[in-house]
């Protein structure tokens, strides 16, 4: 892994100086607080802004802490992932297209090191983001609804982070393999179409990376079928490693795509 620490430093500097370590976690924090707050104050919001007729009655569902956390994760799964993927999907392909990669690739660097430095930085941004998102969500849930058990909460965050590693590996693999436009389309299709598929046939398709976010919540609810969980986790890690290796190979193979 020739030059890994140097490359890592470069990637960190880029992410740091483009404020990625700040604004992406902020987005997650905002997403995290939205659901507990809006659900709790739904009646007040409706009566303040809506033209609710006199005597109108509405039955609000009784939501528990786990339901609200699930709602927050739903937000991370759409807008959150969109933000994370969109800010990193060009990290390899764009460097090639604008010629910045030239001055890197002519040196005796290892492509594994270069790919991994990008993966590590993306994962760090992702980790800080979900910690911020979970913290915001859990804080307001705890204040307004009720608390969680510490251990299962951490297990839930950990599970979601493994899912994120899978998302990042797919994103970077796409970036290494294709041009920015194709990579963006490809990564979004894999991640979001997978989610839709799981929503439709998830009952039968239990061992899959796309189920992990749901399983994270089920861990908290205590309704998790543990063998499905472990298998999904293992499958996800294997696919993640495979994607990373494919990414390293295609990154090396696509050196000729670099604009000189």
Partner 1 sequence: MTTILQVTGLTKRFAEKTVVDAISFTLEEYTSTALIGPNGAGKTTTLSMLTGLLKPTIGNVELSGVDLRANIGFLPQYPQFHPWLSALEFTEMAARLNGVPSKKAKVDAQKTLEFVGLENALNKKIATFSGGMKQRLGISQAIVHKPKLLLLDEPVSALDPVGRREVLDLLKGLQQETTILYSTHILNDAEEMTDQLLFLRDGKLVEQGTLREVRQRFDEPRYVVEFSTEEEARLFASHSELFGKAQGCYVFVDIQEEEPTMQQLLQQLSACPYNVRKVARQTASLEEIFMKVAKRV
Q: Which residues bind partner 1 (CB under 8 A)?
A: 2-3, 6-7, 9-10, 13-14, 17-18, 98-100, 102-109, 255-256, 258, 260
Residue 21 CA to its chain's centroid (Å): 14
For residues 247 and 173, the answer to whether their CB atoms sit within 8 Å is: yes
As measured in angstroms, the least distance from the Cβ of 1 to partner 1 is 12
As measured in angstroms, the least distance from the Cβ of 246 to partner 1 is 20
Residue number, 111 or 160, with CB nearest to partner 1: 111
Residue number, 106 or 199, with CB nearest to partner 1: 106
As measured in angstroms, the least distance from the Cβ of 176 to partner 1 is 16
DSSP 8-state symbol, 92: T
- Look up residue 160 and give its two tokens: 């979601």
Q: What is the dihedral of CA 133, 136, 142, 147, to 10 degrees?
A: 30
- CA 17 to CA 105: how far, in whole Å? 23
Residue number, 42 or 109, with CB nearest to partner 1: 109
Helix, strand, coil distribution of the chain in percent, nearest 5: 80, 0, 20
As measured in angstroms, the least distance from the Cβ of 110 to partner 1 is 10
Residue number, 37 or 116, with CB nearest to partner 1: 116
């Amino acid at each position: 892994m020739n030059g890994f620490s140097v490359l890592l430093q470069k990637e960190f500097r880029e992410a740091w100086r483009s404020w990625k370590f700040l604004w992406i976690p902020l987005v997650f924090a905002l997403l995290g607080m939205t659901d507990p707050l809006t659900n709790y104050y739904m009646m007040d919001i409706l009566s303040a802004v809506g033209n609710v007729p006199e005597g109108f009655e509405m039955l609000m569902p009784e939501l528990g802490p786990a339901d609200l956390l699930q709602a927050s994760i739903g937000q991370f799964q759409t807008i959150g992932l969109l933000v994370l993927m969109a800010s990193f999907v060009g990290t390899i392909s764009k460097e090639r297209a604008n010629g910045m990669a030239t001055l890197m690739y002519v040196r005796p660097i290892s492509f594994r090191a270069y790919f991994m430095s990008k993966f590590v930085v993306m994962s760090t941004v992702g980790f800080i983001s979900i910690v911020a998102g979970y913290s915001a969500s859990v804080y307001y849930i705890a204040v307004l609804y009720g608390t969680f058990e510490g251990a299962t909460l951490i297990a839930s965050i950990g599970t979601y982070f493994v899912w994120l590693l899978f998302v990042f590996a797919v994103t970077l693999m796409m970036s290494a393999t294709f041009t920015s436009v194709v990579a963006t389309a490809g990564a979004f299709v894999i991640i979001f179409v997978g989610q839709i598929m799981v929503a439709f046939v998830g009952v039968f398709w239990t061992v899959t990376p796309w189920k992990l976010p749901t399983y994270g919540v089920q861990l908290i609810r205590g309704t998790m079928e543990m063998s499905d969980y472990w298998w999904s986790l293992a499958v996800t890690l294997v696919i993640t490693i495979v994607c990373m290796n494919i990414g390293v190979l295609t990154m090396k193979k696509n050196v000729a795509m670099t604009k000189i």
